[in-house]
Structure 1
Amino acid sequence: MGGTEQEKMVIVVREYEEEKDREGAELVDRICEVGPSGAVSLFTDLLGDPVCRVRHFPAFLMLVAETTSPEREIVGLIRGCVKSVTCGDKGPRRGGGGAVPIYTKAAYILGLRVSPSHRRLGIGLKLVQRMEEWFVSKGAEYSYMATDNDNKASLRLFTDRLHYSKFRTPSILVHPVFAGHRLPLPRTVTLVRLSPSDAESLYRRRFSTIEFFPRDIDAILHNPLSLGTFLALPSGAAFSGIESFLADPPTSWAVLSVWDSKSLFRLEIRGASLLLRGLAWTSRAVDRALPWLKIPSFPNLFRPFGGYFLYGLGGEGPTAKELLRALCLHAHNMARAGGCSVVATEVAACEPLIDGIPHWKRLSCAEDLWCIKRLAEDYSDGAVGDWSRSPPGSSMFVDPREV
């Protein structure tokens, strides 16, 4: 694009309008990579709904960048949401009863896209700045975003120009779904499906002080995309209701919830070699023909595929890792029945139960990068102080709506 044409171009950033912007926004989403660039890239398809990734939040906004001269064209977009999350705790309550969570209003940026033909023109900067203005108008105290460590352009924009700081490096763990066979569950484990109300009680009592725990956990658990919360107990342990469990839990237990990301978007790996595609096809063919051999097969990730996301993972006790592993195997079987190709989760890099989460290293990311920015200095976070400068905890809660 020549300098003269750039000088004539006028860029307007405005709120997304469903009827007239949908086609253009879908196009920008389709032509932009969502993973690290290179020979092999990851692309996303939002299934015809550009706002689907944020519309499940209590407050959300989507902005588009549009050229008005020489012709109208959507060349960029950004999505954002505001919610209340835990940023720490105040210490034990008087008289016991556990710690008191400190909530803050946090804004999350996701889905920043700029058309490849219009990059390096400051469009991404304009989109983020306008989104931050909206965050402040909604009372957000912090803004944060996630990016890949290898995405140098994104890091330069957020850390150098917008003054975000590197905050957390959680791990994204991905396990393929074996189309040819179910994964057997250990007989030493009993699984209990919790109602959304019982799951809410468990999460609020046991998880509400870990970082990023959402205050509206009830809305997440009651969402149709939340496919269930499952509790794993040692075989023989009785479950007589959530209140009895919380009052006197067994020595070991684990829990997780399953979110249907497949109904929101599909992913696709592009640029893989013919050799890799052939090896993957062979593994699936053998798995289908000889399912009793339980051969780990590589799913077809080279055409649009969906997955389930595991959230709210946790537990306590000496056998919590084994119990969590059983829950992940159960989620794999759910994903197989649901026509998924992967199950995935994201946890703190130092999560104590991380060894109990089955995953393939070749599909996973050891260090996702979250960056944060304090939007206003006059906000107070109680005992936590400036959350953006606080050290990481051993666990964190990853909201499935952000995935």
Structure 2
Amino acid sequence: MTVVREYDPTRDLAGVEDVERRCEVGPSGKLSLFTDLLGDPICRIRHSPSFLMLVAEMGTEKKEIVGMIRGCIKTVTCGQKIDLNTHNPQNDTVFKPLYTKLAYVLGLRVSPSHRRQGIGFKLVKMMEEWFSQNGAEYSYIATENDNQASVNLFTGKCGYSKFRTPSILVNPVYAHKVNVSSQVTIIKLDPVDAETLYRLRFSTTEFFPRDIDSVLNNKLSLGTFVAVPRGSCYGSGSGSWPGSAKFLEYPPESWAVLSVWNCNESFRLEVRGASRLRRVVAKTTRVVDKTLPFLKLPSVPSVFKPFGLCFMYGIGGEGPRAVKMVKSLSAHAHNIAKNRGCGVLAAEVAGEEPLRRGIPHWKVLSCAEDLWCIKRLGEDFSDGVVGDWTKSPPGISIFVDPREF
């Protein structure tokens, strides 16, 4: 008999770690990606407003943990409507966000020796019961498009539908620092100012978290940065930043913004199954890059042993040079990741995001089409305006919460 119950760190830690070690996550083939959580296995979700971890236990006398699942609940933007109560000098149409309570399933693991026994399905259904009891109106999951077992479980048995297909863009962190364009000025915002910018400019973007202030003030947040043209009134040096509200009222011709999150403190990754030749080639590129950093040669990070990553989120901007601004911000984020000892720098963006061209990435490390699946659990309070969110068409941008990456 399989019993599903809440995770107890005092007695379940060793069993959960054992299942994690035996479950390799990633596309099928010789290379696989292993995720190693640091400290308590609940660390991936503890930064969310509401969270839970369940384990599946089998056996009578000698009990064995054979699976686990994590979930969290937050309030996010699911659409927008015209704000009839707000007017501006330009007489532009003003929109305000429509929020819904959204649950997220992550970290579903079933021991390889106990698969195809309905354990994964049972874990999902128990987690969905907790979601509903806590008022969640929708539940969604992210999985690899070619992970057929996961796709079949959620879309075939659990009633989820395919919803969005964002791209995960991953770039190695080199041994040398990356140059930031001399034509661009990078400005770091304090959390309060960053919150103002995001709420004024991005609050109607799909999946925008209502508690963005909690994200920006989290200890894992490494800062929010704005790029403006050097020589503009905002890029002329110290004291030229007027605050986000005034900046958005009189923006430069082109600008961009992004924030950086330190995943290095929560989990490590490791690529397994690489041949000896691949390892030697990768090490050689690092040695050359470290020895001759002035050549700025691309090098493969040490991904064949545990490595960390930094995550870029809240990516946005406007103007004809916005892509170049994002490229400069990505270079700045690369140098932050290097100082943190990370192996890669990652971002996740909508498939049609126009600014993605400014995010450097290696195709071999990236995922061109991640898959988000969604399920409606109950009536949402925006019903009648948005309708059923699961049937809404995708926008050009999404706001990816770094707490769930």
TM-score bracket for this pair, using the shorter chain length: over 0.9
**Equivalent residue of 1:110, what SS?**
strand
Aligned length: 393
Equivalent in the alignment of 1:375? 377
Residues 236-385 of structure 1: pairs in structure 2 closer than 5 A: 236-237=231-232, 238=234, 239-377=241-379, 380-385=382-387
Are 1:57 and 1:82, in contact at CA under 8 Å, matched by a contact in 2? yes
Is 1:107 the counterpart of 2:109? The answer is: no
Provide the secondary structure at the position in 2 that maps to 1:257: strand
Q: From the superposition, tell whether residues 131 and 149 of structure 1 become closer, same or farther in structure 2 (CA, over 3 Å).
A: same
What TM-score comes out, normalization by structure 2 length? 0.95
**TM-score using structure 1 length:** 0.95
Q: Which residue of 1 aligns with 2:51?
A: 60
Q: Which residue of 2 aligns with 1:85?
A: 76
**How far apart in 2 are the matches of 1:378 and 1:319?**
39
The CA distance in 2 between the partners of 1:258 and 1:102, in whole Å, is 26
Question: For the residues of structure 1 that align with 2:78 and 2:226, how far apart are their CA atoms?
Answer: 26
Query: Structure 1 residues 380, 243: closer, same or farther in 2, change over 3 A?
Result: closer
Map Cα deviations across residues 154-190 of structure 1 (whole Å, 9 max, x no partner).
01110010110000000000010001x1001111001
- Match of 1:235? 230
1:28-80 CA-to-partner distances (Å, cap 9, x unmatched) read 11211121232110001001210001100110000000013352011100000
Secondary structure of 1:52's counterpart equals: helix
- Is the alpha carbon distance of 1:198 and 1:378 closer, same or farther for their aligned partners in structure 2, counting shifts above 3 Å? closer
- Cα distance in 1, alignment partners of residues 136 and 39 from structure 2: 29
Deviation at 1:241, TM superposition (A): 2.1
Q: Give the alignment partner of residue 121 of structure 1, picking from 117, 120, 135.
A: 117
- Superposition pairs of residues 130-279 of structure 1, within 5 angstroms: 130-179=126-175, 181-237=176-232, 238=234, 239-279=241-281
Structure 1 runs not aligned, ≥5 long: 1-9
**Equivalents in 2 of 1:208, 1:129: separation in Å?**
31
1:18 to 9, 15, 20: 9
The answer as to 2:27 corresponding to 1:32 is no
Classify 1:343/1:213 alpha carbon distance in 2 versus 1 (closer, same or farther; 3 Å). Answer: same
Q: Residue 150 of structure 1: CA displacement?
A: 1.1
Distance, in Å, in 1 between the alignment partners of 2:28 and 2:159 is 24
Return the alpha-carbon distance in structure 2 between the equivalents of residues 320 and 379 of structure 1: 36
Report the Cα offset of residue 243 of structure 1. 2.6
What root-mean-square deviation, in Å, do the aligned CA atoms of Structure 1 and Structure 2 show?
1.2
- Indicate how the Cα distance of structure 1 residues 95 and 203 shifts in structure 2: closer, same or farther if over 3 A, else same: closer
- Residue 237 of structure 2 is matched in structure 1 by none
Structure 2 residue matching 1:381: 3-state secondary structure? coil
Question: Which SS does the other structure have where 2:271 is aligned?
Answer: strand
Q: Residue 5 of structure 1 aligns with which residue?
A: none
Residue deviations 1:336-387 (CA, integer Å, cap 9, x gap): 1110110001000000111011111111010000000001257643421100
One-letter code of the match for 1:383?
Answer: V
Q: Distance in 1 between matches of 2:384 and 2:189?
A: 34
Cα contact 2:137–2:380 (8 A) shared by 1: no
1:4 maps to none
Give me the whole-angstrom Cα distance separating, in 1, the residues matched to 2:198 and 2:58: 46
**Aligned equivalents of 2:97 and 2:33: distance in 1?**
37
Letter in 2 for 1:115: S
Contact 1:104/1:381 (CA < 8 Å) preserved in 2? no
For residue 32 of structure 1, what is the amino acid of its counterpart? C
**C-alpha distance in 1, partners of 2:186/2:380?**
47
